[in-house]
Structure 1
């Protein structure tokens, strides 16, 4: 699958939230942004299955960690 690059400007507060999220989940900005765009546009099927599964596994790990606190 070929990939294109885009540049966007976002408010500092949103960048802070994004950075916090990637630090908590161990993912990266590209994965988060691609998943968010795909979900927003209603085309989640265009995100590779392996990436969707990896994201779910990360979310489960976070929830399990929070449940043990």
Structure 2
């Protein structure tokens, strides 16, 4: 299935955060952006399960780091 493409210009600080988040969670930047848009637009249930799981794992790790 062919997916349409868009071009977005990001401020450098957002690009750095996107790169770091994608690397830490092991997901692609595309999946992170699609997931963020889906959540922002109120259709987060359309985000693939593996991406939602990676996001939860990242959040749990951050919480564990704060607790320790």
Question: Is structure 2 residue 29 aligned with structure 1 residue 21?
Answer: no
Q: Which runs of 5+ in 1 are unaligned?
A: none
Deviations 1:29-55 (A, max 9, x none): 223211110011100011112221221
Q: Which runs of 5+ in 2 are unaligned?
A: none
Q: CA deviation at 1:26?
A: 4.6
**Normalization by structure 2: what TM-score?**
0.70
Q: Alignment RMSD, CA only?
A: 2.2
1:66–1:4 CA distance, 2 compared to 1 (3 A): farther
**Normalization by structure 1: what TM-score?**
0.70
Deviations 1:8-45 (A, max 9, x none): 10122322332343455454422321111001110001
SS in 2 for 1:9: coil
Q: Matches of residues 5-16 of structure 1 in structure 2 within 5 Å?
A: 5-16=5-16
